[in-house]
Amino acid sequence: MTIKYEIIDHTADIGLKIIGSDLKELFENSGLSLFQISSRKQFTKDKKHISVVIKQKSENIEELFINWLNELLSLSAARELIFHHIKVNKINETGLEAICQGSSINNYKVNIEIKAATYHNLSIKNNEKGWEARVILDV
Amino acid sequence: MSDVLRLEKIDDFRWRIPMDYKPGMRVPGVIYADERLLRDIREDKALEQVANVAFLPGIVNASLAMPDIHWGYGFPIGGVAVTDPAKGGVISPAGVGFDINCGVRMLRTDLAYEDIKHKLKDLVYALFSGIPSGVGSKGDIRVGLKEEEEILVKGARWAVEKGFGTQDDLDCTEENGAMQGADPAAVSSRAYQRGRAQSGTLGSGNHFLEIQVIDKLYDLKICDALNLNQGQITLMIHSGSRGLGYQVCEDYTRSMVQCLKKYDINIPDRQLACAPVNSDEGMAYLSAMKCAANYAWANRQCLMHLTRNIFEKVLNSSWQKMGMSLIYDVAHNIAKIERHIVDGENRELCVHRKGATRAIPAGHLDLPQKYMGIGQPVIIPGDMGRNSYLLAADESAEETFFSCCHGAGRLKSRSVASRTINADTLLKELESQGIIVKASGQSTIAEEAPQAYKDVNDVVKVVHSARIARRVCRMRPLGVIKG
């Protein structure tokens, strides 16, 4: 699946620019981009697909965005899953509900360890084409 | 932004960002650099970040930056910020970073280059296969929840009690390998889950284990005291608190973003989220951070134990006979409550070192007896192609609250390095210089290429000339194991 993101330069870490036609797609693309930049599927050692429901509530869209990305990274590390399919079912600027499907990390070659998404230089904008977010990840 | 920033020259190695640069700065910024390094520093947004840190409530004297400073996410990497809890001073998880107590330890040996040159490849390959490295790597040291809690409190002592080291190792570790006041209840279950089974693992990215050889002696008196000579083999281990530390930082950044409103704190970057040191939130973070720091010391102790075992197997001798003792272990991502003299007054302060090393001089009460006369060993790893240094804290370290640089500092982004450097060509070049590299990820090799870093020789020249820490000896790499 091709999703819409590009890497922006940052001296120590990784910057990402992500776009989406609406807020739902922006959050889905942002979530998937974490795993697309860090891992590549190489094996099928474990055929199981595991679905996880993520619910987040925050004060504003910036916090929702950062909490969402960090919840994905944290769950991925704790449950040893790489998420390959994300469906955001409900979203507004202060809350979301999503179903994320992942398979075992053992099926992937993971090249980069993303520690977290950060607020530094974070921007989330809405224009006539849709939504665009810029975020710096600590690697 | 940085090109409009007017820096005031204090002397050849010190520069000031005036307080009027941004309304809201409570203190000036002070950067330790020479003109040459400053040119690189101005290339990214690190100086803006030094100015942003100067907004923190209760910050004392200045927002400090070491010569290896580069653009981070909130704090600059290579930043030191000290706050006064008695004057509303704050603690910020960003001033420590996600990899809490990322740090480095250095071992000496009685081995000379001649003793291992024919075994070097065997050693590198054995270390690479015997020490789990890479993203999310897991170790053979498995513990249950109760024991994991014990690690968070006891730190490196837990490993020594397991037989993975000696009391002498603890004496030569900052904080003796465990900060007091660590409260496992302040660590979330997700953090436990995320860090599970990662004790004794190196991690990925810039974490490494290196076999080095001393190629230059500077301070013969200290070299004698540490029993170090030219041509002698040394080792460096660079790792941190792995997933457990990342989650502690994330959990508390999340809660401290809420504290900005609660405590009416105005800062220009939300990643600098903070709370008063003496608030419930501040104290809880400090307790959890100490747990992660202790976990990291246990981790590096386990890594050293594995390294000693592998040397024993490959070289068919005991580590004691090979003189593989720990010189020192320093944290370079940490916040600590320390006593310092400010305006003639002995005050209890919160010292954030984000990519900076503690450097306490001779005679300081926190030094182990054996270093009382020479000052704290300060370990400065460089890149995998050039040099690393051992320094000792010097007399002017007081002005940095006893803090020094922590490495060479990145120059190029990972993506630029990956695009412009061919990993295979680089490996051949390094091999022609007598350096063997093994890495878990091919991308790591290009990202961690020497060209991606500043020259550590330039960085060390600044701290030496500014009399923060003096050069003791210099090493060059022979064998490199990367995550």
Instruction: Enumerate the domain spans of chain B.
Output: 2-482
What lies within 8 Å, CB to CB, of B280 at 6+ separation is none
Residues in chain A with CB shorter than 8 Å from the CB of B257 are: 63, 119
Closest by alpha carbon to B105, among B478, B471, B380?
Answer: B380
Catalytic residue status for B406: yes
The answer to whether the CB atoms of B136 and A80 lie below 8 A apart is yes
Of the candidates A9, A77, A121, the beta carbon closest to that of B415 is on A9
Token pair for residue B275? 């709370």
**What pLDDT, on a 0 to 100 scale, did the predictor assign at position A12?**
76
For the purposes of burial, counting CB atoms within 10 Å of the CB of B339, is it exposed (0-12), middle (13-18) or buried (19 or more)?
Answer: exposed
ipTM: 0.93
**B82 close to B401: Cβ distance less than 8 angstroms:** yes
Tokens coding A121? 């230089």
Asked if A115 and B444 come within 8 Å (Cβ–Cβ), the reply is no
In angstroms, the separation between the Cα of residue B270 and the nearest Cα of chain A is 6
Q: Identify the pLDDT of residue A1.
A: 55
Residue B302's φ and ψ, nearest 5 degrees, are -65, -40
Range of the domain at A54: 5-138
Interface membership of A74 toward B (CB under 8 Å):
yes
Apex CA A61: angle with CA A55 and CA A64, to 5°?
30
Question: The domain spanning residue A51 has which CATH number?
Answer: 3.55.10.10
Rounded CA Rg of chain B: 21
According to the model, what pLDDT value does residue B483 have? 79
Give the tens place of pLDDT for each residue, B64-114. Answer: 999 999 999 999 999 999 999 999 999 999 999 999 999 999 999 999 999
What pLDDT was estimated at residue B196? 79
Contact flag A138-B97 (C-beta cutoff 8 Å): yes
Residue A110 contacts B, CB cutoff 8 Å: yes
pLDDT score recorded for residue B200 = 63
Q: Chain A within 8 Å of B435 (Cβ-Cβ)? A: no
> Which CATH number is B2-482's, of 1.20.1250.20, 2.40.50.140, 3.90.1860.10, 3.50.50.60?
3.90.1860.10
How would you write the pLDDT of chain A (139 residues) with one tens digit per residue? 567 899 988 887 899 999 999 999 999 999 999 999 999 998 888 888 999 999 999 999 999 999 999 999 999 999 999 999 999 999 999 999 999 999 999 999 988 889 999 999 999 999 998 999 999 999 9
**Separation CA B295–CA B165 (nearest Å):** 16
A112 touches B at CB < 8 Å: yes
Partner-chain contact A138 B411, CB within 8 Å = no
Under-70 pLDDT residues of chain B:
1-3, 134-136, 140, 197, 199-200
The token pair that represents A122 in the structure block: 């974070």
Cβ–Cβ < 8 Å for A11, B71: yes
Q: Within the 11-30 window of chain A, which residues sit less than 8 Å (CB to CB) from chain B?
A: 11-14
Contact predicate B372/B350, CB 8 Å: no
Q: State both tokens at B423.
A: 């990993």
* Residue A51 contacts B where some CB pair is shorter than 8 Å: no
Which residues on adjacent β-strands are paired with residue B436?
B479
pLDDT in the model for residue B1: 45
Exactly one of B70, B118, B406, B464 is catalytic; name it.
Answer: B406
Give me B189's structure tokens: 């279950």
Question: Distance between CA B23 and CA B6 in Å, rounded?
Answer: 15
Output the pLDDT for position A75.
Answer: 96
3-state helix, strand and coil shares in percent for chain A, rounded to the nearest 5? 25, 50, 25
Neighbour tally for B478: CB within 10 Å = 21
Give the count of domains, chain A. 1
Contact across the interface for A110 and B136, Cβ inside 8 Å: yes
- Tokens for A101? 């499907």
